[in-house]
Amino acid sequence: MSNLVPTATAEACVSEPASTPILQALPGRLTDVGGLPIRRLLPRSARRLVGPWCFLDSYGPLTFASGKPMDIGPHPHLGLQTVSWLLEGELVHHDSLGCEGPAGPGVLNVMTAGRGIAHSEETPAPNSGRLRGVQLWVALPDAHRETTPAFEQHRELPTLDLDGGRATVLMGELGGVHSPARSFSPVVGAEVVGAPDRSLVIPLQPAFEHVLVPLQGAWELAGQALAIDTLHYLGSGRRELVLSAQAEPSHILLLGGAPFGEAILMWWNFVARTTDEIVAAREDWQAGRRFGEVEAYGGARLEAPPFVARPHRP
């Protein structure tokens, strides 16, 4: 997806990891784009990076009888990976490399933007008339942010069996189980499903900072209720989490990674380091350079929003 609620100025994002276990709850900021409810969970003024994770929108649940609730025309990305994961419904990805990625629940789409790519994402026809999912971005570290653009789709993902549930590993590694998706810095992204009225223990890397985002059902962390579509920042220094699910189906997203340690500048769909890079990328998109064309998409490409350069304090 595109960043559908862009700001005119870039947002400076730095790692501010808590070095001890904490619990900071940040409810999603709700917007409605063409009837599709979207909750922005990252970046937030109180929490901009979690490991390399720099963007998280949760959308739906939505039921519809006609039309395309998701119809994001061609738009550019730079310096990041997009990670698309659905709980219900369908989407189809097309990009300027000529890749097509039809996805539904259990199918992972990962696009490495590197030095620049364009893509579209839309509801296909026919469809189930339902939509619920998350869109995530991972910032690429400086050493890899100019990497060759690529798209990968994984229809079989490894799972970690837990007492009381199961984790599907989307990105990075959890409990010795590795995602097949390419990643560029130490990271974990997993969808955890819990059995009702059971407690569930998830092993963690203490050096990572983590968040939990309940997507469905009713969850508790060590006896404390966790609200749906709320970012729960957990800090670092934890060896495990003890969760319990009270309802079925119960889905929760676990994200984390080594503190990113590099300051990034985010604007629209770009992760950069300097204002000049953003200006150049915006001009290249508007002029039809660098990012390529998404030939499989039937409609118009997105225009870049206005950009207002502003000095940033480190």
Q: How far is the CB of 269 from Mn ion (least distance, A)?
A: 6
**Residue of 139, 131, 7 whose CA lies nearest to 82:** 139
Name the residue nearer to Mn ion (CB basis): 43 or 259.
Answer: 43
Min dist. Cβ of residue 247 to Mn ion (A): 32
- Per-state percent for the chain, helix, strand, coil, to nearest 5: 5, 50, 45
Query: According to DSSP H, which parts of the chain are helical?
Result: 275-286
Q: Is 278 helix (H, G, I), strand (E, B) or coil?
A: helix
* Closest to Mn ion by CB, 2 or 244: 2
80 exposed, middle or buried (CB, 10 Å; 0-12, 13-18, 19+)? Answer: buried
The DSSP 8-state label assigned to residue 144 in this structure reads: G
Nearer to Mn ion, 63 or 286 (CB): 286
Which of helix, strand or coil describes residue 189?
A: strand
DSSP state of 288: T
Q: How far is the CB of 137 from Mn ion (least distance, A)?
A: 8
Residue among 82, 24, 73 at smallest CA distance from 52 = 82
Q: Give the span between the Cα atoms of 108 and 86, in whole angstroms.
A: 8
Separation between Cα atoms, residue 81 and residue 177, nearest integer Å: 21
Closest distance between Mn ion and the C-beta of residue 51, in Å? 20
- Pick the closer one to Mn ion by CB: 2 or 236: 2
Instruction: Output 13 or 202, the one with its CB closest to Mn ion.
Output: 13
Identify which of residues 2 and 96 has a Cβ nearer to Mn ion in the complex. Answer: 2
- Burial (CB < 10 A; 0-12, 13-18, 19+), residue 233, is buried
How many residues are present in the chain? 314
Interface segment toward Mn ion; rule CB under 5 A; list 1-9, 25-33, 63-71, 193-201:
1-9
- In the complex, the smallest distance separating the C-beta of residue 132 from Mn ion, rounded to whole angstroms, is 18
| Spatial distance between the Cα atoms of 217 and 271, rounded to a whole number of angstroms | 33
| Phi and psi, residue 87, nearest 5° | -95, -30
* Nearer to Mn ion among residue 1 and residue 83 (C-beta): 1
* Count of positions on this chain that bind Mn ion (CB under 5 A): 2
Which residues share a beta bridge with 224?
A: 221
CB of 122 to Mn ion, least distance (A): 11
**CB closer to Mn ion out of 1 and 56:** 1
Question: Residue 9 CB, nearest distance to Mn ion (Å)?
Answer: 20
Binding mask 2-21 for Mn ion (x = CB under 5 A): x-------------------
In angstroms, what is the minimal distance from the CB of 72 to Mn ion?
6
Q: Which residues bind Mn ion (CB under 5 A)?
A: 1-2
